[in-house]
Structure 1
Amino acid sequence: MATEQNDTKARKIQPRTLAMILSIIIPGLGQMYNRRFLKGCIFLIVTISFLVTTWNFIDIGIWGLFTLGTIPREHHSIQLLIQGLISLIVLGFGIAIYIYNIKDARSDAIARELKRPNPTLFQGMRNFYDNGFPYFMILPGLLMLLFIVVVPLLFMLALAFTDYNQYNAPPRNLLNWVGIQNFVDLTKIDIWKNTFLSVFSWTIVWTVVATTLQIVLGLFLALLVNDPRIKFKRAIRTFLILPWAVPAFVSILIFSALFNPTFGAINRDILSQFNVMIPWLSDPFWAKVALIMIQTWLGFPFVFALFTGVLQSVPRDMYEAADVDGGTRWQKLRHITLPHLLFATAPLLIMQYAGNFNNFNIIYLFNEGNPAVRGQNAGGTDILISWVYKLTFESNNYNMAAAITIIMGLIISVFAFFQFRKTASFKEEGRY
Structure 2
Amino acid sequence: MLKTFKKGDNITRLSLLIFGLGNIVRGQLGKGLIFLGVEILYIFYFIEYGIGALKGLFTLGTQEQGWVMDERKGIEILVDGDNSMLLLLFGTLCLMIIASLLIVAKLSLESAYLAQESIEKGLKPVSLKKDLSFFLDSKVHITLLCMPIIGILAFSVLPLLYMILVAFTNYNHDHQPPGKLFDWVGLDNFFVILNTHSPLGKSFWPILSWTIVWAIVATITCFLFGLILAMWINSPYVKIKKVWRSILATSVAVPQFVSLLIIRTMLQPEGSVNVLLKELGVIDNALPFWANATWARITIILVNLWIGAPYTMMIVTGILMNIPAELYEAAKIDGANTITIFKKITLPYIVFVMTPYLITQFIGNVNNFNVIFLLTAGGPSTIDYYQAGKTDLLVTWLYKLTVGSKDYCYASTIGILVFIISAAVSLLTYHRTSAYNNEEGFQ
TM-score by length of 2: 0.87
Query: Cα gap change, 1:127/1:228 in structure 2, threshold over 3 Å: closer, same or farther?
Result: closer
1:293 maps to amino acid: L
Which residue is equivalent to 2:259?
Answer: 251
For 2:347, which of 338, 348, 354 is the aligned residue? 338
Which residue is equivalent to 2:51?
Answer: 59
Which residue is equivalent to 1:287?
Answer: 296
CA contact (8 A) 1:259 1:267 kept: no
For 1:187, which of 189, 194, 198 is the aligned residue? 194
Distance (whole Å) between structure 2 residues aligned to residue 234 and residue 31 of structure 1: 66
Query: How many aligned residue pairs are there?
Result: 419
Partner-residue secondary structure (3-state), 2:108: helix
CA contact (8 A) 1:161 1:399 kept: yes
Query: Cα gap change, 1:123/1:299 in structure 2, threshold over 3 Å: closer, same or farther?
Result: closer
CA contact (8 A) 1:15 1:109 kept: no
2:366 maps to amino acid: F
1:85 maps to amino acid: T
| Cα drift, residue 37 of structure 1 | 3.9
Which residue is equivalent to 1:361?
Answer: 370
| Cα drift, residue 194 of structure 1 | 1.3
CA RMSD of aligned residues (A): 2.5
Partner-residue secondary structure (3-state), 1:312: helix
Which residue is equivalent to 1:86?
Answer: 93
Query: Cα gap change, 1:126/1:274 in structure 2, threshold over 3 Å: closer, same or farther?
Result: closer
| Cα drift, residue 163 of structure 1 | 0.4
Partner-residue secondary structure (3-state), 2:323: coil
Structure 1 stretch displaced more, 309-318 or 290-299: 309-318
2:269 maps to amino acid: P
2:228 maps to amino acid: F
| Cα drift, residue 145 of structure 1 | 0.4
**Percent of aligned pairs with the same residue?**
32
CA contact (8 A) 1:76 1:174 kept: yes
Write 1 or 2 for the structure with the bigger share of helix. 1
Structure 1 stretch displaced more, 309-318 or 320-329: 309-318
Partner-residue secondary structure (3-state), 2:282: helix
Which residue is equivalent to 2:237?
Answer: 229
Query: Cα gap change, 1:426/1:178 in structure 2, threshold over 3 Å: closer, same or farther?
Result: same
Query: Cα gap change, 1:95/1:251 in structure 2, threshold over 3 Å: closer, same or farther?
Result: same
CA contact (8 A) 1:19 1:31 kept: no
Are 1:99 and 2:91 matched, yes or no? no
Distance (whole Å) between structure 2 residues aligned to residue 422 and residue 54 of structure 1: 49
Are 1:298 and 2:307 matched, yes or no? yes
Are 1:398 and 2:405 matched, yes or no? no
For 1:408, which of 409, 414, 418 is the aligned residue? 418
Are 1:40 and 2:48 matched, yes or no? no
Which residue is equivalent to 1:217?
Answer: 225
TM-score by length of 1: 0.89
Partner-residue secondary structure (3-state), 1:305: helix
Q: Which runs of 5+ in 2 are unaligned?
A: 1-5, 66-80
> What do residues 197-222 of structure 1 show as CA deviations (whole Å, max 9, x unaligned)?
11111111111112211111111111
Which residue is equivalent to 1:162?
Answer: 169
Distance (whole Å) between structure 2 residues aligned to residue 266 and residue 118 of structure 1: 81
Distance (whole Å) between structure 2 residues aligned to residue 48 and residue 246 of structure 1: 55
Which residue is equivalent to 1:386?
Answer: 396
Partner-residue secondary structure (3-state), 2:176: coil
For 1:238, which of 238, 242, 246 is the aligned residue? 246
Q: Deviating runs (4+, > 6 A) in structure 1?
A: 428-432
2:185 maps to amino acid: V
Which residue is equivalent to 2:209?
Answer: 201
Structure 1 stretch displaced more, 261-270 or 330-339: 261-270
2:301 maps to amino acid: I
CA contact (8 A) 2:168 2:188 kept: yes
Which residue is equivalent to 2:382?
Answer: 373
